[in-house]
Amino acid sequence: MPECLIVQPIHPAGEEALEAAGIRVRRASAQDMKTVAAEIETADALITRDAGLNAEAMDSARNLKIIANHGIGTNKIDVAHAAELGIPISFTPTANARSVAEHAMMLILACAKRTVEADHAARNGNFRFKFEGGMSELTGKTLGIAGFGTIGRLLGEIAKNGFAMKVLVWSPSVDDDAIRDNGFEPVATLDALLEGSDVISLHRPARPDTHHMINAGTLRKMRPHAILVNTARGALIDEAALAEALESGVIRAAGLDVFDPEPLDESSPLTGLRNIVLAPHVAGSTEDALKATALACAQHIVDALADKRPESLVDAVVWEKRRNT
């Protein structure tokens, strides 16, 4: 019977789908790579979330035929080494997109309405909080989206249709016509996006060219009342520069679901600020999204073990040159 090792918990529906297909499910006893390397030897397939999979673990997996990444980002997986070994990697680019887009809008609203601070004030009987001001509406404001994949597009639709916001998009990999076709306005540079937006939402992958794309210099290009939201990858933001900008009033507020590194250190200067909303990387963790993502991973594994090309491969060339075990 083929075997799938699950590094981190997934929705039970995914495990049930694997078992219904005749695949034995085994859960790793811990998610660190030393443990995974010791337990992966007999696995034919593997599902991992943000723990990823390193080269050492791959080298221990003599039977491994498919790595199913539970989510979009594969920066924690040694993609190059997997390619060398002929192990295809699948991912789930759309399964949790709606959940993440809604979470991004929630962070925008929480910052605009000072929701977390208001909650704290109410719990402590401070009903004079309403006289502090600093809250705003979104209607008529401009949302700037950096990166125009499925999540960015969905967020733009929510902002435009639900809040009558103007939506600007900067995305080096997407044609301007495709952006216009969705009813949004393309801009040519990141600077133009930052300078022209009241709210900025980041939707780019973590790569060398996007590392700290939001830094002291780019933060100064944003409007003083601007809100910055990140549900993509923590490495996009220089967190020390952001903390300074929030404390000094360079920008008004921020909402972060992702950090670099994770988990966020309790001593981070971000944790002591009032004008920031923090979440522990849960944007894609609604019950709906977790179920859809787990089922997508399970289907990728079922297909791969049946010698059928899975949907959504990181590199389709690896599938054509996949290892025979």
Residues carrying an active site annotation: 233, 262, 281
Which of 151, 32, 104, 143 has its CA nearest to residue 258? Answer: 104
* Neighbouring C-beta atoms of residue 239, cutoff 10 Å: 20
Residue 1, CA atoms < 13 Å, CB-side half-sphere: 11
Tokens of 36: 């995974």
116 three-class SS: helix
Which residues share a beta bridge with 77? 53
Residue 169, CA atoms < 13 Å, CB-side half-sphere: 31
Kindly state the helix (H) or strand (E) to which residue 166 belongs, with its residue range.
Answer: strand 166-170
Q: Which residues, at least 6 apart from 15, have a Cβ–Cβ distance to it below 8 Å?
A: 6, 25, 294, 298
Within 124-215, residue ranges assigned H as helices are: 150-163, 176-181, 190-196
CA 149 to chain centre: 12
